[in-house]
Amino acid sequence: MLHTVMSFVKAGEKVGTERMKTKTAYRLNMAFRGAVVTAATLLCCLITLTDAMGQGNRAVSFDDLLNGIKNSEKKLLNLRVEGKCLFLDWDAGKQDWQYGGESHVTAWYTGVPGSKLRFDIHKQIRKWINGPAPFSNSSGTIAYNGRVGQYLLLEEGTPVKPVKTLFGQITAGREDLGIDYEASGWTRSLYGCEEEENKMRFSEFLEKVQEVGKPQKSVQYSVNPVRFSNTDCIELVVQVTPPKGNPQKEIWYFDPSRGYAILFHEDTATSAQETVEKLAEPAPGVFYPVKATRLIKDTSGQPAYKWVYEASSVVANDPNFSDDIFTIEWPEGTVVEDKISGTTFTVGASASDTEKRIRDQVKEVKKEVANPPGPQTEKTNSRRGYWMVAAIIVVAGVLTLLLLFVTKGPRK
């Protein structure tokens, strides 16, 4: 009985020991699996977090940047901007910015630098050098339709008392039109930043840099990931080392998450820094600056000028956009100087006005003929007098024929 009981006890102890071993092995196995799963989870989280933190630190190539900018440029078809720019001058004595003028415009672009454009200048206040007042004020329109340029001056004078002017010009190009891009933000944007200097797209500028930079060590460029204004950006640095002189460097920061919009630009040659504080998306994939600042320093590195731009309205890719806006309709009474043909005309002048002007000229010539110069003592002077009388008679005859032509019209 005791032996049997002891046998059962031993048997039970053996079974219990086996069960304990099995249970311990199971627990160890589950603990190991849990540790592996936990480690894998932590590793995945770490990889994801590192990837997210290093999103802006990934290496990017020049070609990647170029292709991204090309794709963004294609998305802009046309643009209309209503904006203003405040011009400030730094007063070193007062250690403060002083008012230097302002400009308010509505501008239209086709999206292609060097192409058609129009500016309706509602108000442009500038310093009046050698004028009767500290500032001058003018308003008008500038337009270029791809063939000829037009300029219309509506008013000019002081800000307090502008005077109606109505003067126009026609030019063979747009270089002489005095275009002011600052109030439209065009030159702060990716689409027009190379407008003033090169009249080309930024991608075309980059292709030129790449073309020149390969065979020549005088032009060097680099592309790097940077963090600017809490945004992951791509930095482009272009440095030109002339044979004589100091190296010149330009730096751009692009935001690839917003159509490679330019957030910052610095030019060491002009000591200018441009910062875009706010962007708008007026059309899908089109990002345009609506608030930006341009700071220019003097040779000592101190502030000199500051231009503050802000847009109140930006419309992109308007399906009703018409090329008619790039041609000015001259108001009646505008005196237009056509520099292409070398003539001047008044808009709305009737045939009767032309006829009256010719009649006055004929009367003036006849008056000269009726009262020839007196006799001259010297022979040479008398000959000059005869020739003058003969010329006057000929001119009078031509003007008389022209008067008859204007009055009766050509024969049919």
User: Which helix H or strand E contains 346, and what residues bound it?
Assistant: strand 343-346
Residue (of 346, 236, 288) closest to 107 by Cα position: 288
| pLDDT value at residue 372 | 60
pTM exceeds 0.75:
no
Bridge partners for 206 per DSSP: none
- Indicate the domain borders of the chain: 2-53, 66-114+174-318, 350-408
Contact (CB, 8 A) for 348 and 123: no
Phi, psi of 78 (to 5 degrees): -160, 165
Rounded distance, CA 102 to CA 179, Å? 14
- How high is the pLDDT of residue 401? 59
Contact predicate 347/338, CB 8 Å: no
Q: Whole-angstrom Cα distance, residue 131 to residue 405?
A: 46
How far is Cα of residue 256 from the mean position of the Cα atoms in its chain? 20
Q: Does domain 66-114+174-318 have CATH number 3.30.450?
A: no
What pLDDT score does 60 carry?
82
Measured from the Cβ of residue 10, the count of other Cβ atoms closer than 10 Å reads 10
Sequential DSSP letters for 107-168: EEE-SSTTS-EEEEEEEEEEE-TTSSSSEEEEEEEEEE-SS-EEEEEEEEE-SSSEEEEEEE
Nearest to 292 by CA among 52, 48, 66, 84: 84
Let me know: does 309 contact 185? Beta carbons within 8 Å: yes
Q: What is the pLDDT of residue 69?
A: 97
Q: What is the pLDDT of residues 176-187, one digit of tens each?
A: 787 889 999 999
Structure tokens at 174: 């747009």
Q: What is the pLDDT of residue 247?
A: 86
Residues of the chain with pLDDT under 70: 1-59, 214-217, 350-412
260: alpha, beta or left? (left if phi > 0; alpha if psi -120 to 50): left
Residues 124 and 138: beta-carbon distance below 8 Å? yes
Q: Which residue has the tokens 């005095």?
A: 178
